Structure 1
């Protein structure tokens, strides 16, 4: 399915051209949100870079950060963000089986009580825009105050990116398949 706005393949802005080149090297393709959104709104590039950099500085372990983001994106139906999270999962050599079971996090033995608390909080926040006292207290039994704020921020950030992509019908770029193919080539060499 094509995005609602035609992707701009050859942007005029030198900084956007450079970003296209960098993402092509990193992901094997130019990301559709860059071609649809950033090419039309170059000012957003700096903001998005800073948000991504800030996301990387969050102290939670990378697997939990990815799970919170991917579950949020699955709930919202953001195919691009789910694909990006799966790609990152492969790139970081994490267990894809666990990420494929996110919809069953409440009952699957693959998840710890700590992970379930974070995922329940992210799910309830995404669906309701608020959480019950019980959900919050369960989260508090597993995480300190800084970690709670980090989970809250990650969930809000993921909802933000989902709300940029979904209305514009920005779907999967096949990033996970590209990453799996590159990973297989690395193992074959």
Structure 2
């Protein structure tokens, strides 16, 4: 596998602006659904980062770790996220969200097991489970876009709130 930076990749926003706008609208709708369901933004960032780790998306890892830090996430939890099951740093709800996000991300590997779904449904409302599934779906789509077009990490800066 070659990762030749000299090979130019398509600029999706420029080449297919309507599809890119639709993706942005999907992302906005998923964020809105999470807000309406009163899902903590910290959980959303954790699942975005975890899915990006699993997919190997450097651009999204750069973006979402910066966003998480800007929102007050600790370095310890970010460093341990790749091994979240082995640490005491994550709450029961965060663990259920991470397990669900991993199952959605790795859907090819046994689909979303009933036990994983049941664990999430036990600690989240139906609206929150739906929002978690949408958030995982959206970040997985963005990971694939960033990887396929070789978006370069490093330049993203969080919006100051």
TM-score by length of 2: 0.82
Between the aligned partners of 1:72 and 1:4, the Cα distance in structure 2 is 26
Equivalent runs, 1:97-108 vs 2, <5 Å:
97-108=76-87
The Cα RMSD (Å) is 2.3
1:140 pairs with 2:121: yes
Structure 2 CA distance for partners of 1:146 and 1:3, relative to 1, 3 Å: farther
Between the aligned partners of 2:75 and 2:22, the Cα distance in structure 1 is 30
Residue 128 of structure 1, aligned match among 83, 107, 129? 107
Q: Which residue is 1:53 aligned to? A: 28
* TM-superposition CA deviations, 1:69-117 (whole Å, max 9, x none): 1101110011111111012113223223212211111121110111111
* TM-superposition CA deviations, 1:13-52 (whole Å, max 9, x none): xxxxxxxxxxxxxxxxxxxxxxx22122222343233223
Between the aligned partners of 1:168 and 1:157, the Cα distance in structure 2 is 17
Bigger Rg, which one: 1
Residue 13 of structure 2, aligned match among 34, 38, 41? 38
Between the aligned partners of 1:146 and 1:126, the Cα distance in structure 2 is 20
Q: Which runs of 4+ in 1 moved over 3 A?
A: none
Q: Which residue is 1:110 aligned to? A: 89
State which drifts further: 127-136 or 158-167: 127-136
- Listed as ranges, the gaps of 5+ residues in structure 1 are 8-35, 184-189
Contact 1:4-1:168 within 8 A present in 2 as well: no
Between the aligned partners of 1:75 and 1:141, the Cα distance in structure 2 is 25
